[in-house]
Amino acid sequence: MPEGDTAWRTAHHLHEALAGQVLTRTDFRVPEFATLDLAGQTVDEAVSRGKHLLIRAGRHSIHTHLKMEGAWHIQPLDASWRRPAHTARVVLQTPTTQAIGFSLGITEVLDRATESATLSYLGPDLLGPDWDLDEAVRRVTSDPTTPVFVALHDQRNLAGFGNEYVNEICFLAGLLPTRPVADIADIRRVIDRGRTMIRANRERPRRTFTGNTRKGQNEWVFARAGQPCMRCGTTILRGELGDAPTRMRNTFWCPSCQT
């Protein structure tokens, strides 16, 4: 599941492949930018901002978001695509390399002068150079009645955590997802521990919260409803929680380990 660490790692690979290279061909397969041609522009850098990706070239910034199914593939020009062509949303080519964005949830090209304004709603970036724990704590605690799961998931509070991280953070902190922020004695420590986890996972091809990278053993509760808790044996439960009907997320918890 793409989260902040996936975006960071994707940006790192895109930067390695494209930075300093001249674009020889661009193909934006979304109506609004279908006629835009950035061929001849030099790629300055690729960076992540929370779960968002930015490829900066000249005065343009190619803004994409992986959402649930998206991925960027980087490969030689003559290599066959590993996903169906109809799922491609953007194709960038240099003299030696092609980068294809498949099934992207967001694909748009911004003027770099307006890039900051477009993403200004995001909270402090968990993997960014300007991470600000004090500001993250201020935002997360701004509404004390908010369930901790919702507060940590809200990208306006801090940018980078998704469902998997928030469920695992709540388990490791011993907190029910529904626990109001006001009832948590040290939310600062919870946030800081979560940041330590996402930093540790950012270069791993498979993230882990348990210390074991084997599939099925790398998560304590996420997507393990009906299975025994690996710590106490109690059956993991599943529910839904969100701050609006359109933003309901799956929650997973151990009713014994979390209160």
228 three-class SS: strand
CA-to-CA distance for 209 and 90, rounded, in angstroms? 33
Placement of tokens 């998931």 in the chain: 153
CA-to-CA distance for 54 and 11, rounded, in angstroms? 8
Name the catalytic one among 32, 51, 108, 228: 51
Name the catalytic one among 2, 124, 147, 177: 2
Residue 238: C-alpha distances to residues 166, 216, 225, 251 (Å): 14, 17, 6, 6
* Known catalytic residue at 215: no
Task: Give the tokens for residue 74.
Answer: 């980087």
118: enclosing H helix or E strand: helix 115-118
Placement of tokens 């997973």 in the chain: 252
**Residue 100 near residue 123, CB atoms below 8 Å:** no
Name the catalytic one among 3, 164, 168, 219: 3
* Known catalytic residue at 2: yes
Residue 47: C-alpha distances to residues 37, 82, 142, 191, 230 (Å): 21, 24, 29, 23, 36
* Known catalytic residue at 3: yes
**HSE of 135, CA atoms in CB hemisphere, 13 A:** 13
Just list the catalytic residues: 2-3, 51
